[in-house]
Structure 1
């Protein structure tokens, strides 16, 4: 199937089946597996098409990268727990007897600080703050929301992240944007128009500080945690298994140095990720986690923890992260299926005839959101939408970089993050559930109302800009 082909409405069915089943059964892995199988038959590939699809979806550098990243994250979290680093960190924060509100704000600030990687941020913030938020009786759903809504939304509005480089790269060659400097300059100017990302980050702060009260399913989750002491829903399946959450510190009578076991590994990750971004133009996040795992493994041995214990801890970390890995396996598979069936092409073809200068940013925002929701990938949405929407905006603007062009670029970026936030197929949403150790669908259900409120406000602003223009 070529780049402009599509199977029509049939192409929308697999992601639709996956999403409906995920919310109905609350079993994401089963829902994704069924949707992939149904999609293969709808595409006319037959039963053997399923393993062939998985080989195509998983046998590439992109999946290998995130698979290894997940493995190293699992091992590092296990090492943190075995050394007592997370307990020490929780005790350090807990000594001040901070209120639930202050802990929420602290978690929000941590998410803002770790802006350079949307993969690192939700797992790091969730896993390090979990014991603190548990003690304050904050629901795991709310922790996951704070982690998720301070990862991608922050990364997409900071002009020195991989997100900025990726979007800028897609802009090169479009109209007057001739080189990397032009592209980054245009992207930076579009940031104030990324209403969804900016308002999402602000809403987290307002909710964490209590200025805006929790509402919808999140309010029920918070009431359950506060009144009943149940941090997760009865019958839920946290995305981190007991092999990882039940690891006890090796030394029961003392907690080892938090500097060696926590701050130095984290500093190593940040130094390598930021340093490689500055020096090489690409943050080597996976390599940074590998270096931290090796460093902390050596430190554990120096502190007297046996090699066998270190290896057992590492294996428990891998086992504990497997639920998240399995969801990513099927998410990548259904994304490959969407590409084969032309899901994005169908969505574009059914809406591109509506476009005009006034409606372009709003329609672009909606379409990007639908594609990201259906595929679970914001970067994939950027790759699809920018080559289509930005040339249209430039055409309306007579080849100049005006408000419509900047708003359209921002609408693609914000719409991709909006759809990504609402989708159970999203890798960053999966990582937020992993970091918070919460049921994945519970996280999505409680986050959607907040995302929808911000999305509607963002859409209204884009429509307003269109009317003014």
Structure 2
């Protein structure tokens, strides 16, 4: 059966089942006072289950919203059956309309599309390509080729798609020359895309993450929480992302691998075969030619100046909007100003200004015409339209669960059976499974965040304790883990395409590393932190664990060691060290 037909059948069956099952409700009552009990779990369950079955996040979230509207309408309306169906439909539409009418939500959406526009102009001018080319010149050996690729992934922090599109094609010729397997290249590209962008203080991700954080705290009746401050405090607790980045560096620096990746590197070093036998590398003309105009001078300043403008004015805006002028110019005063800042407005100021700076630079250098500059900005903004839709539906399903009392019910059920110290681990595992099955970290965040934050704040008594930050970090980093190694993830597929690697070879060689880091995150991270261990100790233990695993369980991929293992005479001229 074709996927589209299967998805249609699943969708229709779900809608019919929901309409028939909720008809058991009695008419009349106040939707805010009605005790929905276990039925309040239906919207998130529908969203999660359909995401598993259909892999369509927008459809899943939309039907999750519809199921909630259906339940509340049948529970409280005194109309007839068919009129209740109509009312459920109109109520479903009202949720995203109300979400878009919220000032905070509107600010987040504007910032998100503004960042997309700025990134598109920078790419059009060849700025990111210029940075990538400059870094590529530093790579002389297999070790430096891997570590420069890693560094490039860190430098291009503001967007995971731009990161993948630039780093893979730029470093591939050099990696090929140094006999680094395509599997290894795609692993490095993939591991420095979403894990980096998801933690960056300024990126195409942050607007989405801030929107979910702010709305989920509101659902937990905590309205005086500064989402940007919470975001920053969660960064140390995103241990999967941190450990994944650290492992990429150590793998390249130590030149040691294990599992299928070792076999791929051994094949490439000894035989020069960068792809496995029978491999079908993914490729795309878009990745080969990039997004920049042809025959233009590549200048790093065309990327650095707009990005620096964005970062500097974002921090100035946060300081100013948080009452920085009235506070002492000290570390404590600056911290307090950031804590009181209006993040959405501040980031909009910075993103639009950075976009204007990029336009002016492109036009003044005669790289772009005024029309081309605006066209690039609009195309970049349009590229994030799916993001805006998902975010709006995420806010909508959050409102639905608030109406039905999902969070209080979940807290009531779980608090009596789940030890608080296990919450970060449970949330991390659930987020990982959902993301792996759906192939999207953003969709997973939208589903898990409204459930995780009320639980965490219940255990913390409403205070922002390490348990809250660890649980929130578990949603954000668990979503990235599942997305990172899922074969249906867009970033995983893009990494294979950008590196011209066989997609399943990329997945098979990366999964052992991702699973190792995921397990390490639980053993030294979520469980000990839940029991009270400071996060900095978890970080140290994790780095030691990665180093020890590579040292004692990994095998050297240095050319002379591989030749010695195979009984081949070492040729000093080919020695990579």
Same topology, TM > 0.5: yes
Give the greater-gyration-radius structure (CA): 2
2:57 counterpart of 1:16: no
Indicate the SS of the match to 1:149: helix
1:437-448 maps to which residues of 2 (within 5 A)? none
2:312 counterpart of 1:271: yes
Give the match for residue 100 of structure 2.
Answer: 58
Is the contact between residue 72 and residue 293 of structure 1 (CA under 8 Å) also seen in structure 2? yes
Decide whether aligned partners of structure 1 residues 148 and 364 sit closer, same or farther in structure 2, where only a CA change above 3 A counts: same
- Residue ranges of structure 2 left out of the alignment (5+ in a row): 1-30, 75-84, 176-181, 202-208, 218-224, 268-272, 323-337, 435-442, 484-488, 534-577
Q: 1:295: how far off?
A: 0.7
Once the two structures are TM-superposed, the CA of residue 353 in structure 1 deviates from its matched residue by 0.8
**Hey, what's the Cα distance between the residues in 2 that align with 1:40 and 1:214?**
51
Alignment of 1:81-230 (within 5 A): 81-97=123-139, 102=144, 105-106=147-148, 108-109=150-151, 120=158, 122=160, 125-126=163-164, 129-133=167-171, 135=173, 136=175, 137=182, 143-152=189-198, 199-206=243-250, 213=257, 227=275
Residues 213 and 276 of structure 1: is their aligned pair in 2 closer, same or farther, counting only changes over 3 Å? farther
Q: Bigger shift: 36-45 or 288-297? A: 36-45
Aligned 1:37-436 pairs, distance under 5 A: 37-43=66-72, 44=74, 46-97=88-139, 102=144, 105-106=147-148, 108-109=150-151, 120=158, 122=160, 125-126=163-164, 129-133=167-171, 135=173, 136=175, 137=182, 143-152=189-198, 199-206=243-250, 213=257, 227=275, 247-249=291-293, 252=295, 254-259=296-301, 261-278=302-319, 280=322, 281=338, 282=341, 284-304=346-366, 305-356=368-419, 360-367=420-427, 370=430, 376-377=445-446, 383-391=453-461, 406=466, 408-409=467-468, 411-421=470-480
Q: Deviations over 1:230-276 (max 9, x none)?
A: 99858xxx9xx979x863415x1x415332x1111111112112333
Match of 1:397 in 2: none
Q: Deviations over 1:25-53 (max 9, x none)?
A: xx444444454445544554722233212
Q: Distance in 1 between matches of 2:48 and 2:139?
A: 46
Counterpart-to-counterpart distance in 2, 1:361 and 1:327: 31
Q: CA deviation at 1:361?
A: 1.4
For 2:297, what is the secondary structure of its paired residue? Answer: coil
Deviation track 1:179-225 (CA, whole Å, cap 9, x = no partner) reads 99xxx9xx98x9988765654553454456576748799x99xx9x9
> What is the TM-score normalised by the length of structure 1?
0.65
**Is the Cα contact below 8 Å between 1:54 and 1:333 reproduced in 2?**
yes
SS at match of 1:275: helix
- Aligned-residue CA RMSD in angstroms? 5.3
> Matched residues in 1 for 2:478 and 2:456: separation?
16
- Number of residues of Structure 1 aligned to a counterpart in Structure 2: 409
Change (3 A) 1:456 1:438: same
Change in Cα spacing, 1:42 to 1:15, as seen in structure 2 (3 Å) is same
Going from structure 1 to structure 2, the CA distance change for 1:310 and 1:113 (only over 3 Å counts) comes to: closer
CA distance in 1 between counterparts of 2:32 and 2:259 reads 45
Higher relative contact order (CA 8 A, sep 6+): 1
User: Kindly tell me: are residues 50 and 270 of structure 1, through their superposed partners in 2, closer, same or farther at Cα, counting changes over 3 Å?
Assistant: same
Distance 1:77 1:13, change over 3 A: same
What is the SS of the residue equivalent to 2:305?
Answer: helix
Task: Please identify, of 43-52 and 302-311, the stretch whose mean Cα deviation from structure 2 is larger.
Answer: 43-52
Q: Distance in 2 between matches of 1:146 and 1:381?
A: 28
User: Secondary structure of 2:99's partner?
Assistant: helix
TM-score for the superposition, normalised by structure 2: 0.55
Q: Contact 1:36 / 1:337 at 8 angstroms: preserved in 2?
A: yes
| Structure-1 separation of matches of 2:116 and 2:371 | 18
Measure the CA separation in 2 of the matches of 1:449 and 1:99.
25
| C-alpha distance in structure 2 between counterparts of 1:319 and 1:467, whole Å | 45
